Amino acid sequence: MKGRLAINGGARAVPEGLKGLWPDITQADKAAVMAVLDRNVLTGQDHGPEAAALQEEWAAFNGSRHALAFNTGTASLHTALFAAGVQPGDEVITTAFSFSGTCLPILQQQAIPVFVDIDPHTFNIDASKIEEKISERTKALLPVHMHGLPADMDEILALGAKYGLAVVEDACQAHGSTYKGRMAGTIGDLGGFSLNATKNLSGGEGGLLLTDNEEYAERAKMLRTFGEKIDDQDRRFRSYACYSIGWNYRLQELPAAFARSQLKRLPQYNAIAQRNGEFLSEQLSKITGLKPPLVPEDRTTVYYKYRLGFDPEALGLEVAPARFRDRLLDALEAEGVTVSLWHYEPMPAFPIFQDRDIGYGNGYPWRSPFYDGEVTYDLQEYPQALRMFETSLVVHDEKHSITIQDMALMECYAEAFHKVFDNLDELLET
Residues that bind ligand PLP in the complex, under the rule CB under 6 A:
72-74, 98-99, 101-102, 144, 170, 172-173, 194, 196, 207
Phi, psi of 91 (to 5 degrees): -100, 140
Residue with Cβ nearer ligand PLP (99 or 421): 99
DSSP assignment of 319-369: S-HHHHHHHHHHHHHHHT--EE---SS-GGGSHHHHSTTSSSSTTTTTTST
The C-alpha atoms of residue 206 and residue 350 are separated, in whole angstroms, by 25
Q: How far is the CB of 94 from ligand PLP (least distance, A)?
A: 10
Report how far apart, in Å, the C-alpha atoms of 335 and of each of 9, 75, 90, 259 are. Answer: 10, 39, 49, 34
Residue with Cβ nearer ligand PLP (304 or 371): 304
Distance of CA 138 to the CA centre of its chain: 23
Q: How far is the CB of 358 from ligand PLP (least distance, A)?
A: 21
Q: How far is the CB of 104 from ligand PLP (least distance, A)?
A: 8
Distance of CA 402 to the CA centre of its chain: 15
Residue with Cβ nearer ligand PLP (61 or 99): 99
Mapped onto helix, strand or coil, the DSSP state of residue 378 is coil
- Per-residue burial over 165-201, b if 16 or more Cβ lie within 10 Å, else e, is bbbbbbbbbbbbbbbeeebbbbbbbbbbbbbbbebbb
Q: How far is the CB of 53 from ligand PLP (least distance, A)?
A: 20
Residue with Cβ nearer ligand PLP (152 or 335): 152
Residue with Cβ nearer ligand PLP (7 or 347): 347
Q: How far is the CB of 211 from ligand PLP (least distance, A)?
A: 17
Phi, psi of 299 (to 5 degrees): -150, 165
Q: How far is the CB of 171 from ligand PLP (least distance, A)?
A: 8
In 10 A of CB 47, how many CB atoms?
A: 26
> Which element (helix H / strand E) includes 156?
helix 153-163
The C-alpha atoms of residue 41 and residue 118 are separated, in whole angstroms, by 45
Q: How far is the CB of 319 from ligand PLP (least distance, A)?
A: 31
Mapped onto helix, strand or coil, the DSSP state of residue 216 is helix
Q: Which residues 6+ apart lie within 8 Å of 39 measured at CB? A: 49
Burial class (CB in 10 A: 0-12, 13-18, 19+), 16: exposed
The C-alpha atoms of residue 58 and residue 176 are separated, in whole angstroms, by 10
Residue with Cβ nearer ligand PLP (99 or 216): 99
Q: How far is the CB of 172 from ligand PLP (least distance, A)?
A: 4
Residue with Cβ nearer ligand PLP (98 or 401): 98
Residue with Cβ nearer ligand PLP (64 or 71): 71
Q: How far is the CB of 126 from ligand PLP (least distance, A)?
A: 17
Residue with Cβ nearer ligand PLP (206 or 277): 206
The C-alpha atoms of residue 146 and residue 347 are separated, in whole angstroms, by 14
Residue with Cβ nearer ligand PLP (166 or 184): 184
Sheet arrangement for strand 339-340: 290-291, 306-310, 392-395, 339-340
Q: How far is the CB of 106 from ligand PLP (least distance, A)?
A: 11
Report how far apart, in Å, the C-alpha atoms of 373 and of each of 113, 135, 230 are. Answer: 12, 9, 38
Residue with Cβ nearer ligand PLP (29 or 170): 170
DSSP assignment of 32-66: HHHHHHHHT----SS--HHHHHHHHHHHHHHT-SE
Q: How far is the CB of 98 from ligand PLP (least distance, A)?
A: 5
